[in-house]
Amino acid sequence: MAARVDSGFWFPALALGVSFLKCLFINAYHSTDFEVHRNWLAITHSLPVSRWYHENTSEWTLDYPPLFAWFEFGLSHVAQHFDRNMLQVENLHYASPSTVLFQRLSVIFTDVVFIYAAKECCRCVQEQKGSQDVLNRPSFVLAVLLLWNFGLLIVDHIHFQYNGFLFGVLLLSVAKHLQSQHLQGALLFAILLNLKHIYLYVAPAYGIYLLRSYCFTQDNKDGSIRWMSFSPLRLLALGSIVVSVCALSFGPFIAMGQLPQVLSRLFPFKRGLCHAYWAPNIWALYSVLDKGLAVLGVRLKLLEEAELPRASMTGGLVQEFQHSVLLSVSPSATLVCTLLSILPAVASIWLRPCGARGFLRCLLLCALGSFMFGWHVHEKAVLIAILPLRASYQSFSDADVHHLLLHSSQEAPQRSGPSAPSSGGHLPARPGRRGDRLRGGLPPVAVATEAALPPPAGDVGVLLGGRLLLLPASVRQAAAAGRQTQAAVRSSNSIL
Amino acid sequence: MQTWSLVSICVLLGVVVRWGVSLNSYSAGKPPMFGDYEAQRHWQEVTYNLPLQEYFNTTDNDLNYWGLDYPPLTAYHSWICAYAKIINPDWVELHKSRGYESPTHKLFMRTTLLIYIPAVVLYCLYLTDGSSKKKISTLLCFLLYPGLILIDYGHFIRYNGVSLGFALWGILALGLGWDVSGSMAFSLALNYKQMELYHALPFFCYLLGKCIKAGPMGRLFLLVRIAATVLATFALCWLPFLSDPSQALQVVRRIFPVARGLFEDKVANTWCSLNTLIKIRSILSGDSQLYLLACTFLAVLPASFRLLTKPTFWHFKLALVNSSLAFFLFSYQVHEKSILLAAPVCLLLNDLPLIAIWFLQASTFMLPLFLKDGLLVPYVVTSLAFLFFSLYLLSALDHCSEDELRMGAYNKLLFFLPKMDLAHVVRWKFYISVAVMAVLSIVSIALVPPPHLPDLFPVLVSTTAFLHFFGTFVYFNVVQFSEPPSRKSQKKNN
């Protein structure tokens, strides 16, 4: 191609191209999440702050942390120029063309944060020496994988959510850590937690990493912890950042004494173990096993059919239910399982830290562990694992997991809409030795087909594969960390 | 990256953009006529339920309600599509299914890409010069051409993609030297939509020229082979109607309705634009069609003659463009969407990128049409995307020298004007014209026209478009008569 293409103009071209594509989906199908956000625009615009977390005219009550509510409040001031009627709380399911246009454009515009974060991540990628064809450069591949992530496209621009903006903040925080600007990274993560609390999934990774690699300024020669190098000043700095952000966000509600109400909205444990559409996690397998045993038990006359509870777990209703044969699972049980699953990863970055690269992998494993064992997990939560995985795209094992995870996230959102087009494609990397840079050509694009699999079957298939790879991955990380005795990579600023 | 991976990505992107556009509103309508989508569905109803002989006449078939007015191949295609009855019989129940619409039916009917896209891919890979990266860029720009996407997938008139696809296969075959297959493909295109007549003259002149250039024996042999193929194809398509001459005549009458007026709506052709100055419509009566035919013929003559004397592929491409433009600008009962027949300009994306992009952008600039269907967002998005990506990938603004634009002849013609840096001038004209088109688009949407001039904006738009088309017509005629590109300059372009 001509000189201009090589001169670095490819990033704006990619960003512009995907933004144009997003505009074409403005009039596509949108899910109930559209009404959710319209309702929140109305609540934050029309009602005083004291009513925000008490309002329940609509079934879609405000269940994100206060900073997101303030974000919606800001958006509502622009919204009033498009269509004032959408800001009436009573106008349930209001979806005039201007409303749709405004909401879609707001997602497209806030994706600017994501584009900026992708640019920062690309800057952290080490280029190979020698002039290379643009299409084979690692930074180009990373930019395509991040900007043109079809899972995110489908969830954000068809199904309708604000994930692009939130993932932008997450990736920016990760990029800051890779550039050794830990305080900025911590600030961004604190803001992120107050925007959407699902990122608590990855909070252990941040906590342990910052404590071990930032608060302890030096390591021993063999990489183990040097207790004397603890810096209380740094701990104080981190603590004050987190506390001040939380104070800014929750402060008004604590002052009004509404904290319990807010917390009950944020953490609704009455919603049941599995979401209406099952996320492909352990509890889905567990429920299938339970059902299978129940049927078997009835057949073998070991159980009375009348004794079995009547609840249908995939009935689309959000409710609590009891398992019939196996033990019922409580929220604390899921918490214990989650903590056990992320223990190896977290322990490894405590005992043998590998710098920012290790942190990224730990983040990924925390996300996966919480996805696998968490309470009431949404299938879309797998995106939290996918995007950092792309950023840490390195070797054969990562590519495998990436392949499977991407497939599961492609299938999931399609079930939420009959006419969502499956325009998926992804670029699996050619397998290489561990630690290799991305090199050489990439095999042809594989297209994810619009297969209408019934929820349990498809998820179980993916689930088994994912499950099998998850445990070895965390064990492998611990082993790899043990092998690398050169720790102190605090100043490392590359992720590949 | 391997070529075929990149080709797959381009094709998939083209498909995604088409599907994205199709998610927007289309030419749906209200009773009693319902719009073009309904026309398609009605034809399926008619062809499925009635015997062949009655497709074109009025026995059980109400011709006033979207009567079939395309040649037989369209009818057969509708009949095949009507096998959708397997999925849902309600779609094609005779008389009862008027106004029936459903999303799956929409998707089903958007499968024209199967014929069009492979032809485009093969053309870009085998008949364009340059590095493989350049070919891929050309492919992407060809597939992103907004006019065809918006009409076929947004506005949903007819299967333009099928007839253009067949014509492209014909061009491809002729480019590879397979004259007989090429003529067969083009005959199929003609039998699908009679508008392909716009392209018939270049095909004829090119093949005739080749026959003349061949040796005395080869000449006769080739002529006979081509004529036989064409006649056979036509006979095959018209077979059911040939048994009764009055049948055939009825079909011809439906296909060429001469009872309609000089032009419809605001079309960017000469007569409509002249109409703003002199009321031509009232001066010319129905009999003056002959004058118009003569006018069109005169416009087409130079290019065809040149092609006859020099039947090379380069001249063939230019003649296709010139002929379709001439027909559009001067012919009778031209419909706005006929400008799509100037899609052969896409064939020149590789050789004359800036002018091709400029023209393609102007041909999409039919805003009043799209506003009627609420296709504003797809129009804006696809036009901007096409403009940006084609300028970026083909580096059109860099290849603006006099030699590359083949402007040598202009200098000779306009020798009395002071010597200017032609490339600079062209570039500035391009910027100004894009700005004007953008401003007119915004103004048409945002402002309300003054009450005594209700059609002000459509007229302005069509006149601007007309000026662009006329300018392009003159330019391509000049290029056709200039010397063909030398080997040296071709190598420089790569």
Q: Do A26 and B385 touch (CB under 8 A)?
A: no
Query: Can you point out the beta strands (E) in B181-259?
Result: none
- Residue B225 neighbours by CB distance under 10 Å: 14
Q: Do A1 and B134 touch (CB under 8 A)?
A: yes
Q: Output the CA angle B445-B449-B454, nearest 5 degrees.
A: 115
**Which helix (DSSP H) or strand (DSSP E) does residue B186 occupy?**
helix B179-192
In whole angstroms, give the CA distance from residue A72 to residue B132: 48
DSSP string of A29-57?
---HHHHHHHHHHHHHHHS-GGGTTT--S
| Helical pair A382-391 and A396-414, crossing angle rounded to 10 deg | 140
Q: Give CA separation, A109 vs A96, A163, B381, B388, in Å.
A: 20, 12, 15, 19
Nearest CA in chain B to A422: B16
A223 SS3 class:
coil
Q: What is the ipTM of this complex?
A: 0.83
User: Which residues, in sequence order, are CB contacts of A115 under 8 Å at separation 6+?
Assistant: A15, A147, A168
Q: Do B1 and A25 touch (CB under 8 A)?
A: no
Phi/psi class of residue A460: alpha, beta or left (left: φ > 0; alpha: ψ in -120 to 50)? alpha
Q: Do B133 and A136 touch (CB under 8 A)?
A: no
* Nearest CB to B5 within list A5, A418, A444: A444
In whole angstroms, give the CA distance from residue B382 to residue B149: 9
Q: Do A1 and B133 touch (CB under 8 A)?
A: yes
A377 SS3 class:
strand
Q: Do A28 and B389 touch (CB under 8 A)?
A: no
Q: Do A419 and B377 touch (CB under 8 A)?
A: no
Whether B135 and B124 have beta carbons less than 8 Å apart is answered as yes
CA of B246 to nearest chain A CA: how many angstroms apart?
47
* A421 chain-B contacts, CB cut-off 8 A: 16, 19-20, 23
Q: Which amino acid is at B447?
A: L
In whole angstroms, give the CA distance from residue B289 to residue B322: 21
Q: Which of A20, A103, A133, A159 has the highest number of chain B CBs within 10 A, making it the mutation to test binding with B? A: A20
pLDDT score for A462: 39
- Interface residue ranges in chain A relative to chain B, Cβ cutoff 8 Å: 1-5, 9, 13, 16-17, 20-21, 23-28, 101, 133, 135-136, 418-419, 421, 423, 425, 441-445, 447
In whole angstroms, give the CA distance from residue B381 to residue B386: 8
A223-275 residue pLDDT tens: 777 788 888 899 999 999 999 999 999 999 999 888 888 888 888 776 677 77
Q: Give CA separation, B128 vs B131, B314, B453, in Å.
A: 9, 11, 47
The residue that leads in pLDDT, B419 or B189, is B189
The DSSP 8-state label assigned to residue B349 in this structure reads T
A182 SS3 class:
helix
In whole angstroms, give the CA distance from residue A444 to residue A423: 15
- Interface residue ranges in chain B relative to chain A, Cβ cutoff 8 Å: 1-2, 4-6, 8-9, 12, 15-17, 19-21, 23-25, 103, 133-134, 137, 377-378, 380-382, 384-385, 388-389, 392-393, 395, 398
- Indicate if the alpha-carbon torsion angle B454, B458, B462, B464 is positive or negative: positive
In whole angstroms, give the CA distance from residue A276 to residue B409: 71
A281-303 residue pLDDT tens: 888 888 888 888 888 888 887 77
A85-100 residue pLDDT tens: 888 888 888 888 889 9
User: Which residues, in sequence order, are CB contacts of A52 under 8 Å at separation 6+?
Assistant: A43, A44, A62, A69
CA of B364 to nearest chain A CA: how many angstroms apart?
17
pLDDT score for B341: 72
Q: Give CA separation, B491 vs A3, A316, B124, B129, B357, in Å.
A: 17, 65, 18, 9, 22
Nearest CA in chain A to B150: A24
Q: Do A136 and B1 touch (CB under 8 A)?
A: yes
Closest CA to A406 of A132, A59, A154: A154
User: What b/e sequence results for A268-283 when a residue is b if at least 16 CB atoms lie within 10 Å of its CB, and e otherwise?
Assistant: eeeebbbbbbbbbbbb
Q: Do B19 and A21 touch (CB under 8 A)?
A: no
Q: Does the predicted TM-score (pTM) go above 0.90? A: no
pLDDT score for A404: 56
The pair of three-digit structure tokens given for residue A342, joined into one six-digit string: 């992320």
In whole angstroms, give the CA distance from residue B149 to residue B26: 12
User: What b/e sequence results for A139-163 when a residue is b if at least 16 CB atoms lie within 10 Å of its CB, and e otherwise?
Assistant: bbbbbbbbbbbbbbbbbbbbbbbbb
Q: Do A21 and B23 touch (CB under 8 A)?
A: no
Q: What integer is the mean pLDDT of B134-154?
A: 86
- Check pLDDT > 70 for residue B237: yes
User: Which residues, in sequence order, are CB contacts of B199 under 8 Å at separation 6+?
Assistant: B167, B186, B189, B320, B323, B324, B341, B344
Q: What integer is the mean pLDDT of B371-384?
A: 78
In whole angstroms, give the CA distance from residue B464 to residue A221: 76
CA of A465 to nearest chain B CA: how many angstroms apart?
28
pLDDT score for B121: 93
CA of B5 to nearest chain A CA: how many angstroms apart?
5
Q: In whole numbers, what is the pLDDT of chain B averaged over residues? A: 76
* Nearest CB to B17 within list A1, A24, A101: A24
**Which region among A247-251, A271-275, B360-364, B368-372 has the lowest average model confidence (pLDDT)?**
B368-372
Q: Do B9 and A445 touch (CB under 8 A)?
A: yes
Q: Do A423 and B19 touch (CB under 8 A)?
A: yes
Question: pLDDT over 90 for what percent of chain A?
Answer: 22
A417 SS3 class:
coil
Whether B330 and B213 have beta carbons less than 8 Å apart is answered as no
CA of B115 to nearest chain A CA: how many angstroms apart?
20
Q: Give CA separation, A463 vs A143, A331, A378, B136, in Å.
A: 28, 21, 14, 39
User: Domain-by-domain residue ranges, chain B?
Assistant: 2-28+111-493
Cβ pairs A/B, distance under 8 A: 82
In whole angstroms, give the CA distance from residue B143 to residue B346: 9
Q: Which of A24, A133, A150, A438 has the highest number of chain B CBs within 10 A, making it the mutation to test binding with B? A: A24
Q: pLDDT-derived band of residue A414, with 50, 70 and 90 as boundaries?
A: very low
Q: pLDDT-derived band of residue B411, with 50, 70 and 90 as boundaries?
A: low
| Helical pair A97-123 and A138-147, crossing angle rounded to 10 deg | 160
A430-480 residue pLDDT tens: 333 333 333 333 332 322 222 222 333 333 333 344 444 444 444 444 444
Q: pLDDT-derived band of residue A481, with 50, 70 and 90 as boundaries?
A: very low
